[in-house]
Amino acid sequence: MSKANYGKSIKLLQVVNWRRNIMAEKSIIILDTNFIIEHISDLHELHQKLSENNIVYITEISINERISQKYLELKSKYEKIETFIKDYSAYATIKLKDTFSNRFEAEKQRTIDVYVKEFGDNIISFTPDVDALKIVMDRVYKKRAPFSNKERASDKGFKDTLIWMSIIQYFKEYKEDIGIIFITNDNGFLNSSDLLKLEFAEITGKTIEIKD
């Protein structure tokens, strides 16, 4: 574990302990995409530690973001290989072991399998429908958090909004009364945490803390 990640892990455990001191009960912890990516090397260890006294969730959108990141990484490698083949085709015959499409599909499935094995049923799914699309578009037009309300921000915050909607959708149906902590370092959430916490409470009847 790097020093930076070690520091972030300690900070996270402090947040969890802070919440536990208030609630004197277990909490639900939801890990945002950036946390998952920053802790690729020690996610299992950290998950085990957090799960000793809490229920730890991730979102399906976060898994999809990780898959998207891997897609771009793999695409970049294949583009470099294709350029190399083009530049040196007069000197050597180079054959790819597999197509980009096949390699990506295999990597995509491996990624899904890793997170399903790690988190099991504690993956918050998101099933978009016509109503969900209308809500997203309404938030775009109104620049409603976690969309950025800065001028020329365009659609910045789209994936954050999907994550937020999936969390609300899930806990709207969640029966148990339990403290919830959403761990993120995304300013789309942090800068509008008060508004988001109010929205969450109004729709789900539950409280959520948004912590870095």
Q: What percent of the chain has pLDDT over 90?
A: 46
Comparison of pLDDT for 22 and 49, the residue scoring more = 49
What mean pLDDT is reported for the chain?
Answer: 83
pTM: 0.79
pLDDT for res 175: 86
Token digits of residue 177? 């009364």
- The reported pLDDT for the residue numbered 12 is 58
Average pLDDT (118-128) is 90
Q: Is the pLDDT of residue 148 over 80?
A: no
Q: Which tokens sit at 73?
A: 């990484």
- In DSSP notation, 29-70 reads EEE-HHHHHHTTTTHHHHHHHHTTTEEEEEEHHHHHHHHHHH
Residues of the chain with pLDDT > 70: what percent? Answer: 75
**Per-residue pLDDT averaged across 184-199, rounded?**
90
Least confident of 67-76, 122-131, 174-183: 122-131
* Range of lowest pLDDT (8-22, 25-39, 175-189): 8-22
CB 152 within 8 A of CB 50: no
Q: Is the pLDDT of residue 85 over 70?
A: yes
Q: pLDDT at position 158, please?
A: 80
Q: What is the DSSP letter of 20?
A: H
Is 182's pLDDT higher than 90? yes
> Residue 19: is its pLDDT beyond 50?
no
Distance CA 84, CA 86 (A): 5
C-alpha to C-alpha distance for 209 and 211, rounded to whole angstroms: 6
**Structure token digits, residue 58:** 């991730």
In the predicted structure, residue 7 carries a pLDDT above the cut 60: no
**Between these two residues, 40 and 128, which has the higher pLDDT value?**
40
Distance CA 57, CA 121 (A): 9
Q: Which of 14-28, 32-46, 101-115 has the lowest mean pLDDT?
A: 14-28
Q: Does residue 21 have a pLDDT over 50? A: no
Residue range 152-175, pLDDT digits in tens: 555 567 888 889 989 998 999 898
